[in-house]
Structure 1
Amino acid sequence: MGNLSIVTIVIIAANVIISYKGFNDFGFFEKYKFQVGPIQRGEQIRMFSSGFLHADTQHLLFNMVSLYFFADVVISNLSSIQFLLVYLGSLMVGSLLSFYFHKNEYHYSAVGASGAVSGVIYSAILLRPDMDLLLFIIPIPIPAYLFGIGYLLYSIYGMKNRIGNIGHDAHFGGAIGGYVITLLLSPWLFETNLLMIVLLALPIALLFALKKLGKI
């Protein structure tokens, strides 16, 4: 993991350039961030542009470092173009799920590549569920598929309890995007990793069940 391809460099550069423009230009930031009210008035570009803006340097750095570590897993198992489809598709699904959950909150706003990066992470886990991940908060390696399931379960918890100033729904939507797009691009996974496909789908099914029951 961690090799930089041209497409990854371009995505990171776009995030850095657009984010720093937003840091130094309040009008630009306000015009292109995700915000429910303006999107309902027809400014759908915000669904996309918000994925390249960040709240601060720490937010930007965290997302780009996460992308750096997982992008090559997706590229090496798919292709650069398909990786780009996963990234941009996950960004949009993350925004769509945020809009779905907050459509009645006129002033709700969000920024960040977290949805897109979550999609890349979930895609990488689907393609390589046998990977071991070493997290800062857990000093021992854990299987990638357990991390993926735990990540989405925590996102559900965060959405339900509004934990922190974090777009948990965008993270979850991005993961759904990465999951679905990767399966569409790699139908052979149904033969090789069917159990993992089912396991990784469980948190997604749980989210929509809770939404239907009015629990979230």
Structure 2
Amino acid sequence: MALRKAAARSDALSLTRWVDYFAPSLRRPFSQSNDLCNSLEKAASLVNPPLNGGVGLASGLSSRGLSGLSQQVGFGVAFRRGFWGLRGELTRNTRKEAHWTRPRREIFGGFGGSRHFGGSGYGDPQLVLGGLIAANVGVFFLWRTMSSKFMSANFVVSGDALKSGRLHTLVTSAFSQYELHHLLSNMIGLYFFGSEIGRIFGGQKLMLLYLTGGVVGALAHVGYWAVIKPRLEGYSGRWYSPPGLLGSSGAVNAIILLDILLFPKRIIYFNMIIPIPAALFGLVIVGSDLWAATNGQRSGTSAAAHLGGAATGVLAFLKWRF
């Protein structure tokens, strides 16, 4: 009996010490709650050993790190893969960048999910993003099941297609990939950049940006091969057959450029190796497309479509940030 009473007194004394230890942190505002997280970490280290960092995207993040992340970027994501590599987003400049863009509303709430820039009525961004990816994958398999004549007539845009009244190819071509590596690269960029744009602006604007970037990119491709390319090559008066266009690169470029303009100081690992600021990454991809377009590109990609999509992202930034 005496041992039980002694144990009870010991437990009560321990509880009192714990309350005294945590009470100052509990009375502080949320902005000073890091001390509480530090206390929790110290207490947890007495019970369990520290977790070993793994290979996952969020490996090695402690409760303190997660608290700092929640204060600096709201409920943002710690890491995200870029168009050609892994992009780290755990930066102290995110709040400043969000304030610099001056949106209609705050990008991030005080503690929790992000807010949309505009009013209500936005679709679920994850549902919209999943639908866009599913549509691209579906058309990819259509290329393997339907006749090539049907697919070329309805999922490839060109000057001849527009002249013959197949205006729907301006949209359908933005969901059309024939090669697997083309599909994978575009869908990786769409998923990791589009998921953030969807959280910030909502699913409706994500869909609008994708479709507008695809259409503008297609028109830029057709216009480039009809006007600019012949002059660069010196055969403006000769007959030639301009190539058609398929692929979502223009639409994805619009999403990537908008994200870069919103957060230009974030680090992107170019080719998964070289860490560079997002602004420099944007200059690299836009500059390479400009060089290819003005020097008479001969590769299988359309620099004009990429530039058209990039221009769409810039216009979206100018319109939606205020």
Q: Give the shorter-chain TM-score range.
A: 0.7 to 0.9
Richer in helix (by share)? 1
User: How far off is 1:148 after superposition?
Assistant: 0.6
**AA at the equivalent of 2:247:** G
Counterpart contact for 2:270–2:281, Cα < 8 Å:
no
Matches within 5 A, 1:168-183: 168-183=303-318
Cα pair 2:226 2:242 within 8 Å, conserved: no
- What's the TM-score, normalizing by structure 2? 0.54
CA distance in 1, matches of 2:248, 2:162: 18
Q: In structure 2, how many angstroms separate the alpha carbons of the residues matched to 1:24 and 1:110?
A: 20
Q: How does 1:1-216 map to 2 (within 5 A)?
A: 1=80, 5-25=126-146, 26-32=148-154, 33-103=156-226, 106-136=241-271, 139-159=273-293, 160-187=295-322
Point out where structure 1 has 5 or more consecutive residues left out of the alignment. Answer: 188-216
User: Match for 2:267: what amino acid?
Assistant: D
Which is greater in Rg?
2
**Partner Cα distance (1:126, 1:103) in 2:** 31
* SS of residue paired to 2:273: strand
Deviations 1:86-141 (A, max 9, x none): 111111111111111112654421110000000010011111112211122x6231
Deviation, 1:163, is 3.9
Distance 2:159 2:144 in 1: 21
Do 1:86 and 1:182's aligned partners in 2 also have CA atoms closer than 8 Å?
Answer: no
Distance in structure 2 (CA, Å) of the matches to 1:107 and 1:163? 12
CA shift digits 1:44-83 (9 cap, x unpaired): 1111111111121111111101111211221222222111
The one-letter amino acid paired with 1:87 is: Y
Between the aligned partners of 2:144 and 2:314, the Cα distance in structure 1 is: 32
Give me the identity figure in percent: 27
Q: Which amino acid aligns with 1:166?
A: T
Q: CA RMSD in A?
A: 1.7
Name the SS of the counterpart of 1:161 in structure 2.
coil
Structure 2: gaps of 5 or more residues: 1-79, 82-124, 228-239
- Supply the distance in 1 between the matched residues of 2:287 and 2:173 (Cα, whole angstroms): 25
The CA distance in 2 between the partners of 1:139 and 1:98, in whole Å, is: 31
Where in structure 1 do 4 or more consecutive aligned residues deviate above 6 Å?
A: none
Say if 1:47 and 1:92, in contact at 8 Å, map to a contact too: yes
